[in-house]
Structure 1
Amino acid sequence: MTTTSGEDLLPATRRALLHRIATAQADGRAPSLVAAVVRGGDTVWHGSRTSVDGHGPDENVQYRIGSITKTFTAVLVMRLRDEGLLDLGDPLEKHLPGTGAGEATIAELLAHTGGLAAESPGPWWERTAGSLRPELADVLGEHPHRHPVGRRFHYSNPGYTLLGALVEALRDAPWEEVLRNEVLEPLGLHRTSGQPQAPHAGGWAVHPWANVMHPEPTEDLGRMAPAGQLWSTSGDLARFAAFLAKGDDRVLGTDSVREMRTPSAPAEAEEVAAGAAYGLGMQIQHRDGRTLVGHGGSLPGFLAGLMISVEDDLAAVVLANCTSGPPVSTVAADLVRIVAEAEPRIPEPWRPLPEADRSVLELTGPWYWGTHAFVLRLTAGGDVTLGPLAGTGRRSRFRARADGSWTGLDGYYAGELLRAVEGPDGAVSHLDLGSFVFTRQPYGEGDPVPGGVDPEGWRGIK
């Protein structure tokens, strides 16, 4: 059984999307699979495949989304930061004392660099009742650390339990209540919940060597809920993906969601080889020449994947109700690629700036760091960029400060200060970027290059 829609996409694109999820469901032997594609903030396609005759699951059928829950928890923590209730550099102990893991900063917990164990001690937490772990001490165990704090990326489910407890402590309310009030309701995610709400899919394990199935238990994860409890739909996750791409001031602004999508954790060798990294509650991948951000999820009986290409203004969600089966995050990435290649994004028309600061305009053009040619450009948004005139090299975007300088926003110079320095005559002599001097000519006479300029200037060999 198949259900599809996608009037905003070309027929050939719709068929390619259907073929991809049909192949995933058949090859992965998933009892059912549902998917959605978002373009420009709107859902433009959804489709499903199911092994049951009759009506297939639509965008309102709930599936368990596992670790995509972590991204929701990260949004709550970022809201606390934006309100000034905490700093990401704060040690957990400052706000949630007595855990035994308080040396890790909030940012390190968000980025899985807090050194904590991957799982909770005791019985497999995903298949047992949360009542077995009523306290944080039960989640962490006697020896919560596996690595020195801040030294390496080590994915940790208990780390997100701590972040959920942090939210509860600072909001003085249960994690799920805070999530509903501050994220789900404002974004209109009415079919996302901690407990399953009909209609919802049942979770199944498919025999690895035979086409038979076994039902999986559905447990309340208790304290572990902030790491993987949620149920949601392809429709709700499509709206959540649109939020993660552009932000929503009712929940979290553009700069903060961009910060979540920025790599924060040092990747392991195999992750570097795979083009993977981790931000603040978001996974980052490089596939097919594009950067994808989002998160995957799994719990017994369910698989979930959400992938976003901000540059293409596309996102995809794939959900399945089997313990192992189709690689849903890969399928989501493929859906993004299919639409991006078949119907590439049409850029907005070029328009001149309504006005431009003349003093900034005079700084645009070529500058030299030693003999390396760079160019400073004024962007449509009023920022400036500085990067190599040709080829690869250090390139960053800078935002203006009230004192006339600029702060680096990304790349090698993120956080660094760019200043236009005036000479004795009041004209700009050079640019200073974190002690690097950029001049209008390479080693020009009288230029304030550190170490000085040879008074004989440029010369040939006699």
Structure 2
Amino acid sequence: MPTSKTHSRHVVGDDDFTDLLPETRRALAHRISVAQRDARLPGVVAGVLRDGEPLWWGARSMVDGHVPTTDVQFRIGSITKTFVAVLVLRLRDEGLLRLSDRLGEHVPDVGPGAGELTVRQLLSHTSGLSAEPPGPWWERTDGSLRPELADLLQDPPLRHESGRVFHYSNVGFGLLGALVERLRGDDWYTVLHREVLSPLGMRRTSALPEAPHAGGWAVHPWADVILAEPLQQTGRMAPAGQLWSTVDDLLRWAGFLAAGDDRVLSAATLAEMREPQAPGEDGYGLGLALNRTGTLALAGHTGSMPGFLAALWIAPEERLGAVVLTNTTSAANFSVSDLAADLVGIVAEREPDFPEPWRPLSSCDPAVLALTGPWYWGPTACGLRLVGENELELVQLAAPRERVSLLRPADGEAWDGDTWTVTGGYWHGETMRVVRSADMAAEAGREAGISHLDMGTFVLTREPYPLDGPTPGAVDPAGWRAEKW
């Protein structure tokens, strides 16, 4: 597993709550046991992690001669897309592309109709491309049938106007794999192994199956009999669903998707990947599906290939994640996504994590401290709290006590102390400026002479609608008054 900090929240007094309680472990084992029986799964293996460390694993199987362990490979299908998305975001963070770039700028031979699609549209399934390539069912036929990029495109290639609706497209990720290859000058899987798998220690994730691995099966819908599924290598479509992996490796991956690793991708970029880009049943980010079950906000992906179903979900706020791998093509009244989400939910409900203990800040800029306290947007009461070094939290006091926005110093080599960038809430991405009085004495210092805050043109003042304040449109000179109606 990736290196993680030792969090003191698991120790309260003399008690160490790092391990799950026996009742929770039993509930997890019971959940996958019932799923294996009711859905008639040839095999299922699952794992749960917290704070990047494995908490539990379990398995059930009556096929392949053994019960799978966390080191047995299964095909993970479209979870492959999360790996490709990370490769693309690495290129973006290195300045080799922008998400607004047209694919044709980097892959000029992509073929008619696809060159105008943007990288963001491909990552978020809003490109309008067809779901599948032309020709026979690509998941069950050899990739040599589609040797060229143009062979991935239907005629016409688009099913919807680009950028208008969410339409899941395996073809789009085949094209993103080609984008990685063009900009790196190497096969996409070679790039993945060098830049991602090796640094994260994911030794059992591969493009081809490596023993020990599970066989893929189809279960007859009306009889308790099974049929072996073929294993095809998918060629140009491989970035959409080729990879094989294990519970051990995917728990590492889940920990990375939740917390980041600066050797591969920062936590900030991974948070960006989890931002909704497109509507859907639950939504979709940049290569990550989004899901909500109860109070849990989940991110991750599901996957399917003939003979296999898989799911990986993380709950970043709860620092939890779960992986489920099965070797069946499909099952009636069964959702591998729901199973993985249920495992997260069992732990979250029965054993909520302990918060970090409160500690005072180690340093404080008086000028930033002077910004804290109540502010008013008209009659709406807001509050600014200093929650980190040069980090402010903006809340609406009339609403339940919850974070509305975070304010951090605006990007730039020389921060002036008065220009902030807003993250989250209504003003997400906007600029907040501290506006000072024109007659402020030069010797008063930065912590004095504040007139108001300009929050993306919204004026916040120290009093609600002050008579002598800067409120746009002026204020009734009669001021606040009592009135008998």
By the TM > 0.5 criterion, same fold? Answer: yes
Instruction: Report the counterpart of residue 116 of structure 1 in structure 2.
Output: 129
**2:365 and 2:136 mapped to 1: Cα distance?**
64
Q: 2-side partners of 1:227 and 1:55: how far apart?
A: 30
Q: Which amino acid in the other structure matches residue 410 of structure 1?
A: G
Q: Distance in 2 between matches of 1:244 and 1:54?
A: 33
Contact 2:117 2:162 in 1 (8 A): yes
The offset of 1:395, in angstroms, is: 2.1
Q: Counterpart of 1:254? A: 267
Residue 59 of structure 1: CA displacement? 0.6
Of residues 325-334 and 291-300 in structure 1, the stretch that sits farther from structure 2 once superposed is 325-334
> What does residue 217 of structure 1 align with?
230
User: Which residue does the alignment assign to 1:453?
Assistant: 475
Write the distance in 2 (CA, Å) between the matches of 1:300 and 1:344: 37
Q: Kindly provide the amino acid, as one letter, of the partner of residue 221 in structure 2.
A: P
Alignment of 1:33-432 (within 5 A): 33-52=44-63, 55-99=66-110, 100=112, 101-265=114-278, 267-268=279-280, 271=281, 276-325=282-331, 326-380=334-388, 382-391=390-399, 395-401=404-410, 402-404=415-417, 405-426=419-440, 427-432=449-454
Is the contact between residue 422 and residue 428 of structure 1 (CA under 8 Å) also seen in structure 2?
yes
- Distance in 2, matches of 1:17 and 1:33, equals 13
Aligned-residue sequence identity (percent) comes to 59
Q: Specify the alignment match of 2:465 in structure 1.
A: 443
CA distance in 2, matches of 1:377, 1:90: 38
Counterpart for residue 433 of structure 1: 455
Do the aligned partners of 2:393 and 2:403 also contact (CA within 8 Å) in 1?
A: no
Match of 1:23 in 2: 34
What SS class does the counterpart of residue 426 from structure 2 fall into?
helix
Task: Find the aligned partners of 2:106 and 2:85 in 1 and give their Cα distance.
Answer: 16
For structure 2, list consecutive stretches of 5 or more residues without a partner in the other structure.
1-16, 441-448
Deviates more, 1:13-22 or 1:140-149: 140-149
Q: Quote the RMSD (CA, aligned, Å).
A: 1.6
Residues 205, 244 of structure 2: 8 Å contact kept: yes
Q: Quote the Cα distance in structure 1 between the aligned partners of 2:437 and 2:476.
A: 20
Task: Report the AA paired with residue 92 of structure 2.
Answer: R
Deviation at 1:18, TM superposition (A): 0.1
Distance 2:106 2:43 in 1: 43
Q: Structure 1 CA distance, aligned partners of 2:275 and 2:161?
A: 23
Relative to structure 2, which stretch is displaced further, 154-163 or 405-414?
A: 405-414
Give, in whole Å, the separation in 1 of the partners of 2:304 and 2:176. 20
C-alpha displacement of 1:412 = 2.1
Q: Distance in 1 between matches of 2:162 and 2:66?
A: 50
Counterpart code for 1:298: S
Indicate conservation of the 8 Å contact 1:32/1:321, yes or no.
Answer: yes
Tell whether the 8 Å contact from 1:103 to 1:149 is kept in structure 2 after alignment. Answer: no
Q: Are 2:143 and 2:236, in contact at CA under 8 Å, matched by a contact in 1?
A: yes
C-alpha deviations, 1:10-65, integer Å up to 9, x for none?
Answer: 11111000001101111110000000111111111111000149641001100000
- Equivalent position amino acid for 1:388 in 2: Q
- Matched AA of 2:378: G
CA distance, structure 2, for counterparts of residue 80 and residue 333 of structure 1: 31
Q: Residue 283 of structure 2: SS of its match in structure 1? A: strand
1:3 matched to which residue of 2? Answer: none
Structure 2 SS opposite 1:412 = coil
Gaps of 5+ in 1: 1-5
CA contact (8 A) 2:364 2:389 kept: no
Length-normalised TM-score, structure 2: 0.90
Q: Is the 8 A contact 2:79 2:303 kept in 1?
A: yes
**CA deviation after TM superposition for structure 1 residue 108, in Å:** 1.1
| Range with bigger deviation, 340-349 or 29-38 | 340-349
Amino acid at match of 2:399: G
Q: Is the 8 A contact 2:126 2:162 kept in 1?
A: yes
Shift of 1:135: 0.8
Q: Is the 8 A contact 2:368 2:390 kept in 1?
A: no
- Describe the superposition over 1:306-332 as per-residue Cα deviations: whole angstroms up to 9, x where unpaired: 010111111000000000124111111
Name the CA shift for 1:103/1:394 in 2 (closer, same or farther; >3 Å): farther
> Could you list the per-position Cα deviations for residues 167-203 of structure 1 after superposition, in whole angstroms to 9, with x for gaps in the alignment?
0000000011001101111111110000000100000
| Cα distance in 2, alignment partners of residues 458 and 409 from structure 1 | 34
Alpha-carbon distance in 1 for matches of 2:183, 2:416: 35
Asked if the contact 1:394–1:412 (Cα under 8 Å) also holds between the matched residues in 2, the reply is no
1:12 aligns with 2:23: yes
How far apart are residue 79 of structure 1 and its match? 0.5
Spell out, residue by residue over 1:275-314, the C-alpha distance to the aligned partner (whole angstroms, 9 max, x if none): x110001011111111011100001100000010111111
Aligned length: 450
CA distance in 2, matches of 1:17, 1:461: 63
Q: Distance in 1 between matches of 2:425 and 2:464?
A: 24
Q: Distance in 2 between matches of 1:372 and 1:121?
A: 57
